Amino acid sequence: MPEAVRFESECSVPGWRLVKDLDRYGLDREIREAGGTFFCLAGEIRATVFGIDEEKMVRRTIAEILARLKLEKFNSLEITQVASEASRRFLGLLCVTVSAQSQHIQGPARLAAA
């Protein structure tokens, strides 16, 4: 994330950080206060994985979404929904679907993309 915008985050998928304690509106406010712009790019993307460990499955699904979006010009991603459905088991494996929206942070030189 840009250095001008400070908030709590943690490492998620390699090369990406997970923002903690802020929703889309809070993050937008912080970015605007630093002189930047935060906007959504068109289209939602979904990915589904099967496995046993739900937390690892969610991370793997997010990594898959990021890999699909590799060629797009974006520097942030909003996870809009995580659905874990025990009723959608396949061969004893849990099914997790993650929906996401690619976004972009843009602003003055001090807000260079991460």
pLDDT tens-digit readout, 83-95: 887 656 667 788 8
Residue 2 lies in a domain: no
Residue 19 lies in a domain: yes
Q: What is the pLDDT of residue 100?
A: 93
Residue 53 lies in a domain: yes
Residue 46 lies in a domain: yes
Q: SS3 of 88, please?
A: strand
Confidence of residue 99 (pLDDT cuts 50, 70, 90): very high
Domain count within the chain: 1
Q: What is the pLDDT of residue 12?
A: 74
Residue 101: strand pairing partners: 44, 78
Residue 77 lies in a domain: yes
Please give the Cα distance from 17 to 12 (Å, whole number). 5
Whole-model pTM: value is 0.74
Q: Which domain holds residue 106?
A: 9-111
